[in-house]
Structure 1
Amino acid sequence: MTRPALLLLTLGFVSLSPLSAQLPPRAGDPKKEEKTPEPPSERDRERIRERNQRKAQEAWARDKKKRSAKDYAAMESEYQNINTNFKSPEVKTLLNDFIKKWKDGNRVGCATMYLAQKSGGDEREKLLETCVKKFSDAYYLDG
């Protein structure tokens, strides 16, 4: 599950939780306060980063296998054009066109996440759900 989707689901769960679930335990309560988990060590972070970069390269390779060299080059060129123009007013149109044209694959998952970032309200929620359901194996190439 992608981090924004997980955050969205977590926020939804917290907002629906009863207020009593958020109260600290009373003195003498058998339920003790849970300790905050230790942050990952530098070595663990490095391993996670390497794993994510490897998975990103694998996702990129799947995109290459899925399409002819010509189609892959065209898709990659369009995607890089979108990245170059990410702050332009027409980027949402470019992203929508890209998603409709290419339909599936790692780059389409990334484009869908970008579009969710540029959207709001119900549209954003729908796009995040699509990312989770259809593109949970997508990775940005920086891992």
Structure 2
Amino acid sequence: MKVVRLTLNGVERALAAAPAARLLDVLRDDLGLKATRFGCGLNQCGACHVLVDGRAQAACDTPLWAVEGKSVVTVEGFDAPGIPPGLREAFIAEQALQCGYCTSGMLVGAAALLLRNPKPTDAQVREALDGNLCRCGAHNRIVRAVLRAAASA
């Protein structure tokens, strides 16, 4: 077992895990943070994205040791200071959640975008979320939700 110290959803934590443990598995299986999804396991779909030091990062191919000393935020921690407000509410208002499988990854991608660009254009939102796959085809509603959240901030 290896102990990794990090800030998770605003709380400093020391997590013990096998040296090869993936961040995704620790979040879901050990800590019960189920919003972060397993999609493809190859960093191709965006379902497992979490914020690592304010940037969207795939948790499926990130070993736990790689986030030592960093800040990790999952959707469950979106009430933490520093997270752009209103994203969840905008997703609900724009009906941007259909099956919900991609939702946490989309929210994380949107938050990462709004952290670096609080007033993005439609094209910038689409580019930022390009690596997040939505099987239901809710992309246009998701883009509208991100733009709505940006406008209300």
TM-score (norm 2): 0.26
Which structure's CA Rg is the greater one?
A: 1
The structure whose RCO (Cα within 8 Å, separation 6+) is larger is 1
Relative to total residues, which structure has the larger helix share, 1 or 2?
1
TM-score (norm 1): 0.27
